[in-house]
Amino acid sequence: MPGVVGGGMRPLLTAELRARLSESADTTDPAGEPDRQVLAQLRASGLLGTAVPVRHGGAGGDAVAVNRIVAELAAVNPSVAIVAFQHFAVSARIAEWGTEEQRERWLPGLADGSVLAASAWSETGAGAAKRNLSSTGTRLADGRWRLDGSKAFATGAGVADIYLVLVRTASEAPPVVPGGYGADGQTFFLVGADTPGVVPELGFGLAGMRGSATGLVALDGCVVADADLLGPVGGAASVIAGVRESGASLGAVSVGIAQGAFDVAVRHAEHRGLLALPTVRHRLVDLATRLEAARAVVDRAGARTSADPGLTTLHSKLHASVAAEEICLDVARMLGSAGYHDGARIGRLLSDARGIAFMGPTNDLCRDLVAASWTG
């Protein structure tokens, strides 16, 4: 049945928010612009506090809770889901690595939605593993830091209130060591969007996730305090390593996209009176089974019950993203000419599903990291 959450669990999104997200997905894709009104509704929903500890005003949810909310959002609006995923990721990093002052400053706002967070790690030429950064952080004589460079593919650019920025603080780039993500000599900073020198810019013209506000964030002489460091100077690789250990998985976005595609297939079959045909019912069951398999892998990553939770998180992203693209393709074939027109939902979902493979860690990087684990 369309819209059913895996395992028979009660949906977390209200019917009103679900309907508004679905409507927004229909309008933001052609425009290629974020829907600020629907983001305001998300901020007010209370959902953004999921990954924030209770003592800072949040729900204290684990990766299972994060993955579930992200999947529900993605079933109706993948662009908003990826914005929320990045918000949850930054919230968790501050809760894990932040000083008490940083937690008190940022976490309450991240919990109540008055602060929306985004990551700014990628940049042109840095590679999927983020090892060859050209953006820099230079310590000034007064103890502050000057950040310079340009970050690319930053989801939430221009709509976020705070960015978790990754720059190189070592005077020379360290040698590249295969099998890693990030490098020594890199440092994270928490940078408010209103900091002078922070200049977001959209206009990437993405094929998918067109309402995610994914674009550039320029750092032009951006000066931040030493207190804005997140984690140790030069120790960003340790922070990054903990991201995949958390169990929060981009595979959850893929599960939601696959759910959305399955819902389209069921509605199509109902509308055309095709559910009476055993062949159609069996085809839908096969799709549902593949969807549930992907959901189970993502759930296992979130639960962190495997012998190596970090590897399971990588596997969950790989499996779910591939499954989502295949499910979308199969649904498109089922719809035939009904889905082959400009603006068809299944076409948008297919583009969104393909986009997950390129989000960090990219699928190829996931494969490299898994293979590297076999050799110690």
What's the number of domains the chain is made of?
3
Measured between alpha carbons, how far is 33 from 29 in angstroms, rounded to an integer? 7
CATH number at residue 152: 2.40.110.10
Q: Residue 71's domain spans which residues?
A: 6-116
Q: At 263, which amino acid appears?
A: D
My answer on whether 46 and 104 are in the same domain is: yes
163 in any annotated domain: yes
CATH number at residue 298: 1.20.140.10
My answer on whether 193 and 309 are in the same domain is: no
Angle ∠(337,32,359) on CA atoms, nearest 5: 90
Q: Which residues pair with 212 in a beta bridge?
A: none
CATH number at residue 80: 1.10.540.10
Question: Would you state the structure tokens that stand for residue 201, as one six-digit string?
Answer: 């810019």
Its pTM surpasses 0.95: no
My answer on whether 188 and 75 are in the same domain is: no
Question: Is residue 86 classed exposed, middle or buried when 0-12, 13-18 and 19+ CB atoms within 10 A define those classes?
Answer: buried
Measured between alpha carbons, how far is 39 from 21 in angstroms, rounded to an integer? 9
My answer on whether 18 and 61 are in the same domain is: yes
Q: Which residues contact 42 (CB under 8 A, 6 or more apart)?
A: 17, 48, 80, 83, 84, 113
Taking the CA of residue 41 as centre, how many other CA atoms within 13 Å lie in the half-sphere pointing to its CB? 17
Asked which of 182, 203, 235 is the last residue of a domain, the reply is: 235
Question: Would you state the structure tokens that stand for residue 333, as one six-digit string?
Answer: 């074939």
57 in the Ramachandran plot: left (φ > 0), alpha (ψ -120 to 50) or beta?
A: left
Report how far Cα 306 is from the mean position of its chain's Cα atoms: 22
Instruction: For 279, list phi and psi in degrees, rounded to 5.
Output: -65, -40
Q: How many CB atoms lie within 10 A of CB 226?
A: 13
My answer on whether 139 and 171 are in the same domain is: yes
Asked which of 55, 87, 116 is the last residue of a domain, the reply is: 116
1 in any annotated domain: no
Give start and end residues of each alpha helix (H) in the chain: 15-31, 36-44, 63-76, 78-97, 100-112, 236-245, 251-271, 278-303, 309-335, 345-356, 363-374
Asked which of 64, 98, 116 is the last residue of a domain, the reply is: 116
My answer on whether 111 and 126 are in the same domain is: no
pLDDT tens track, the chain, 376 positions: 444 445 456 678 999 999 999 999 999 888 888 999 999 999 999 999 999 999 999 999 999 999 999 999 999 999 999 999 999 999 999 999 999 999 999 999 999 999 999 999 988 876 666 777 899 999 999 999 999 999 999 999 999 999 999 999 986 555 554 556 677 899 999 999 999 999 998 766 788 999 999 999 999 999 999 999 999 999 998 898 888 899 999 999 999 999 999 999 999 999 999 999 999 999 999 999 999 999 999 999 999 999 999 999 999 999 999 999 999 999 999 999 888 887 789 999 999 999 999 998 999 999 999 998 888 6
Q: At 134, which amino acid appears?
A: S
